[in-house]
Amino acid sequence: MAITSANQLELLQTAEAVAREKLIDPELVVQAMEDSLARAAKSRYGADMDIRVHIDRKTGRAQFTRVRTVVEDEEFENHHAQLTVEQARQYMADPQIGDELKDDVPPVELGRIAAQSAKQVILQKVREAERDRQYDEFKDRAGTIINGTVKREEYGNIIVDIGRGEGILRRNEKIGRESYRPNDRIRCFIKDVRREARGPQVFLSRTAPDFMAALFKMEVPEIYDGIIEIKAVARDPGSRAKIAVISYDGSIDPVGACVGMRGSRVQAVVNELQGEKIDIIPWNEDQATFLVNALQPAEVSKVVIDEDAARIEVVVPDEQLSLAIGRRGQNVRLASQLTGLDIDIMTESDESARRQAEFTERTNLFMEALDIDEMMAQLLVAEGFTNLEEVAYVEIDELLAIDGFDEDTATELQARARDKIEAANQAALDNARALGVEQSLIDFEGLTPQMIEALAKDGVKSLEDFATCADWELAGGWTTVDGQRTKDDGILEPFEMSLEEAQTLIMTARIQLGWVDPADLESEEVEEEIAEGEEEA
């Protein structure tokens, strides 16, 4: 097509029509046309030329201009689009680096191929502008519910018309085996909005725990008003879910408010989630109490929490085991997701057998180490003594409080315990020295001989080696990989060393070696305290 007076106005009319259809700025379409015409002109006059096109926004007239830029002599590479300062003096009075020399060139006539190329450029620019408009519109709506219409299905994924754009509901984000037909109404949760070069930008979900929370917020006015808060949600989509709620108004029952009159409120959510059974649980700051609630309908006899390992041990009556675990482990899995803890469930008989085994083990330890009979060893265990250190260094009055123990017996027991401990310490140090441990590590305060021996076996043989360790290498920890919590064993974990203790010991070693200035640590602590105070405020 030729750029003539007959079709100059058609350019602007076409730009406005496309802009109205795609809901984008007409200026963007005109700029795309300018780029496409400039590309066609370069194919006509030469790819090395810097050809620019300007379309008059009122008349539609396209002006073609060749531009040459003034550059330094050493940067001069393309005589079609560049000029040296010396060359520019032929056309300019006082040329400066960066000045541009513009010359009008005749308009080009677009052949069939050039016209097709121009069309592709315009379409690409329009698509980019359309995607930018969709992203800007939906980027702030992530985390909300949206109603849409099913447009089509692609490889199990549902493309949803969400008004001024499209969203995708991936196959793994659908509940169970639910299926949809074109033009079906659908309610989804906007899980994420990302700026993508191609493909979908708005990602929808019906399986996200936040979808259930948002549905309850719509159905329960008290949640919308902030009187009741949803603290945690765990879902097995399409099958079962648990939701923990708390009320900030003592006169309002959070569970009852979420259930509604004759279950009307919760039933509305259940219907939307394809019959998913929902357990509404009262939130409690006490982890043990909260877990007992989370494992409903099973009854719990006892809860033991290991805060360092973020694990929790639950004891249930023998007949309640299957109910606590649930079908295919569903109940305990949801309770674990709700509390954020790994849960071990055992029956009362299993726990009794374990306690008996521990009792026997400790009894044998005292019998062998202290050379006493079984009765005396059992008395020590029954009173709560678990190791030789407790016997050796406890106040003697605690031993005298045991039935049948007089002062001579207590004194003799403590002497035997101390002798045994000293012998074990010396043996551990001898082993450590045989493994090549340096005196700097032996003299370091805070490490027992057994710890030093364990470090030596793992290759930590000097204070420098110790100072390069990470806290989790000493105390152990937990790593989450692909949603599964994995245990990292620490070198000193058998000695019940915590992460905080490991951090303190490592930092002390670094200070002694001169790697860290204590003054820097103090300033960091002050900054952290200030930051924490600002957050609280």
- Residue 113 belongs to a domain with what CATH number? 3.30.1480.10
423: closest CA among 361, 369, 367, 495?
369
Whether residues 120 and 148 share a domain: the answer is no
Total tally of structural domains belonging to the chain: 4
What whole-number distance in Å separates Cα of residue 83 and Cα of residue 47? 17
- Whichever domain contains 152, its CATH number is 2.40.50.140
Whether residues 447 and 516 share a domain: the answer is yes
Predicted model pTM: 0.56
Whether residues 197 and 312 share a domain: the answer is no
- Whichever domain contains 289, its CATH number is 3.30.300.20
Is 232 among the domain residues? no
Whether residues 168 and 68 share a domain: the answer is no
Is 231 among the domain residues? no
Whether residues 123 and 167 share a domain: the answer is no
Is 166 among the domain residues? yes
Q: Which of 313, 336, 361 is the last residue of a domain?
A: 361
Q: Which of 190, 207, 224 is the last residue of a domain?
A: 207
What whole-number distance in Å separates Cα of residue 40 and Cα of residue 504? 70
| Range of the structural domain that residue 160 is part of | 140-207
Whether residues 97 and 31 share a domain: the answer is yes
Whether residues 153 and 120 share a domain: the answer is no
Q: Judge contact between 295 and 331, C-beta under 8 A.
A: yes
Is 50 among the domain residues? yes
Helix axes 112-138, 26-45, angle to 10 degrees: 150
Whether residues 25 and 101 share a domain: the answer is yes
Whether residues 474 and 443 share a domain: the answer is yes
Whether residues 28 and 121 share a domain: the answer is yes
User: What are the C-alpha distances in Å from 325 to residues 207, 296, 320, 321, 352?
Assistant: 22, 10, 9, 6, 20
Whether residues 64 and 161 share a domain: the answer is no
Is 426 among the domain residues? no
What whole-number distance in Å separates Cα of residue 97 and Cα of residue 85? 7
Tens-level pLDDT at each residue, the chain (537 residues): 344 433 556 666 766 776 676 666 777 777 777 777 777 777 777 778 888 888 777 777 777 888 888 888 778 887 777 888 778 788 887 888 888 888 787 776 655 555 566 566 667 777 777 777 777 777 778 888 888 898 888 888 888 888 777 888 888 888 877 788 888 898 898 888 887 766 567 889 998 989 999 999 999 999 988 899 999 999 888 888 899 999 998 888 999 999 988 888 999 989 888 888 888 989 988 888 888 888 888 888 778 776 665 567 788 888 888 888 888 888 888 888 888 877 888 888 888 888 888 889 888 988 888 888 888 888 888 888 888 888 888 888 888 888 878 888 888 888 998 898 899 889 999 999 999 999 999 899 888 999 999 999 999 999 999 999 988 888 887 776 666 667 788 888 888 888 888 899 999 998 888 888 877 666 655 455 555 555 554
Q: Which of 346, 361, 376 is the last residue of a domain?
A: 361
What whole-number distance in Å separates Cα of residue 75 and Cα of residue 85? 11
User: In the 8-state DSSP scheme, what is residue 409?
Assistant: H
Q: What are phi and psi of 60, to 5 degrees?
A: 85, 5
One-character DSSP codes across 301-342: SEEEEETTTTEEEEEE-GGGHHHHH-GGGHHHHHHHHHHTSE
Is 199 among the domain residues? yes
Q: What are phi and psi of 307, to 5 degrees?
A: -70, -35
Is 514 among the domain residues? yes
What whole-number distance in Å separates Cα of residue 143 and Cα of residue 203? 11
Whether residues 10 and 84 share a domain: the answer is yes
What whole-number distance in Å separates Cα of residue 296 and Cα of residue 247? 20
